[in-house]
DNA sequence: TATTGTTATACTCTATAACTATA
DNA sequence: TATAGTTATAGAGTATAACAATA
């Protein structure tokens, strides 16, 4: 009745790890790289990156949304959001219509070309995620979501 | 007997997510950014980045290790490993002693200064991880490790 | 003064292509 | 031919500093 424990060491058995494999950040980082690098390749024909798709996704679901709102949602800085938005506008996937109520703010709208790209990208993402999580049970998958969310949302705010 | 479900929407309730929060890659990515960006700040006084510490850690545990071995362990390309190694050598944390058996290969050794830095970095990392996972039960923490490892190790190889 | 968007710049991590030296 | 290391370059994602326009 031995239960196999998968370890990182199985990749390179000759290396001593000295506890490095008990660093959670390492596992999150390498798993993230796994997801991102594979997805980037699969999205390449659509001329969008994973993060650009996420932005496109939210603009589609929230027509007229402001960059500041996207910045708050992703917890990234406004110039960082702007970089994605700029590239999406260059590619004709988004347009910026200045707000009439507050002329500082712009409202972002998805174009028809953006909608087509988003629809295709969503299919790619679903297939990609299904492939990478095929090894997990339904319960494991939902636990992974729940625990990651718990860590993410309970993180002390940045300035502390 | 309602059990609270934490959602990403709680951050920006005014935004429609349209299923974006069911994309696992998003949660892994944002949680990764959370870990990395906070840790970078805390490691800054030591003049090392998170990945540099990981390299230093393995060199310390495996005196004379080759860059190729590190490349296999982290599943990153040799030039990527070399970049970290080069910076660590510049800072005097590592030295490269060419192998006598195979003069193509170098063996990496940690310096005394590197050992001091590594010891301090390990303390920073442990404290940082404890802080970010304080919200998790022991069981949740071990499940998170186990499930991430399962995904990582069962991933189809790159060239497929 | 505060907020929104923008530009410029830089850093971390990653990759590919092409090279040298050695096996 | 194959392997170890290196160099050059690029791309994705992030940040800070400083600015203009508007509120």
Q: Are B36 and A25 in contact (CB under 8 A)?
A: yes
- Is the CB of residue B105 inside 7 Å of nucleic acid strand D? yes
Q: Closest protein residue to D17 using CA and C1' atoms?
A: A79
Q: What is the pLDDT of residue A6?
A: 77
- For residue B3, pLDDT over 60 is answered with no
Q: Token pair of B39, please?
A: 């840790």
- The CATH number given to B48-121 is 1.10.10.10
Q: What is the pLDDT of residue A120?
A: 98
Q: What is the pLDDT of residue B4?
A: 66
Q: What is the pLDDT of residue B106?
A: 87
Cβ contacts of B27 on chain A, cutoff 8 Å = 145, 148-149, 152
Best mutation target among A31, A57, A123 (most B Cβ atoms within 10 Å) is: A31
D strand bases under 7 Å from protein CB: 3-9, 11-18, 21-23
Tell which wins on pLDDT, A13 or B126.
B126
Instruction: Name the residue ranges covered by the structural domains of chain A.
Output: 47-121
CA of B75 to C1' of C18 (A): 22
Reported as a single tens digit per residue, the pLDDT across A137-155 is 999 999 999 999 999 999 8
Q: What is the pLDDT of residue A137?
A: 97
Reported as a single tens digit per residue, the pLDDT across B26-57 is 999 999 999 999 999 999 999 999 999 999 99
- The residue among B106, B119, B105 whose CA lies nearest residue B56 is B119
Strand D and chain A: which residues 24-43 have CB closer than 7 Å? 36, 40
The 10 Å Cβ neighbour count of residue A11 is 13
Reported as a single tens digit per residue, the pLDDT across B141-150 is 999 999 999 9
Model confidence at B8, in pLDDT bands (50, 70, 90)?
Answer: confident
| Chain A interface includes B48 (CB < 8 A) | no
Find where tokens 């497929």 sit: B160
- The residue among A131, A63, A74, A145 whose CA lies nearest residue B34 is A74
Q: What is the pLDDT of residue B7?
A: 85
Architecture of domain A47-121: Orthogonal Bundle (1.10)
Reported as a single tens digit per residue, the pLDDT across B97-116 is 988 888 898 899 999 999 99
* DSSP letters spanning chain B: -PPP---GGGTSTTS--TTGGG-HHHHHHHHHHHHHHHHHHHHGGGT--HHHHHHHHHHHHSTTB-HHHHHHHHT--HHHHHHHHHHHHHTTSEEEEE-SS-TT-EEEEE-HHHHHHHHHHHHHHHHHHHHHTTTS-HHHHHHHHHHHHHHHHTSPPTT-
Distance of CA A29 to the CA centre of its chain: 13
CA of A33 to C1' of D14 (A): 15
Reported as a single tens digit per residue, the pLDDT across A96-138 is 998 888 888 889 999 999 999 999 999 999 999 999 999 999 9
| Chain B interface includes A160 (CB < 8 A) | no
Residues 107-146 of A with CB under 8 A from B: 125, 128-129, 131-136, 140-141, 143-146
């Amino acid at each position: 009745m031995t239960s196999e424990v998968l370890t990182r060491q199985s990749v390179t058995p000759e290396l001593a790890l000295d506890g490095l494999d008990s660093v959670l950040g390492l596992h999150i980082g390498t798993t993230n790289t796994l997801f991102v690098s594979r997805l980037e390749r699969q999205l390449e024909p659509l001329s969008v990156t994973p993060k650009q798709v996420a932005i496109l996704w939210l603009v589609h679901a929230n027509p007229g949304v402001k960059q500041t709102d996207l910045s708050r949602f992703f917890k990234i800085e406004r110039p960082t959001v702007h970089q994605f938005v700029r590239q999406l506008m260059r590619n004709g996937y988004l347009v910026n219509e200045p707000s009439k109520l507050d002329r500082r703010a712009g409202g972002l709208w998805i174009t028809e070309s953006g909608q087509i790209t988003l629809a295709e990208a969503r299919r790619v993402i679903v297939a990609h995620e299904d492939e990478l999580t095929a090894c997990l049970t339904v319960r494991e998958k939902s636990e992974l979501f729940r625990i990651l969310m718990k860590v993410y949302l309970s993180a002390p705010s940045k300035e502390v």
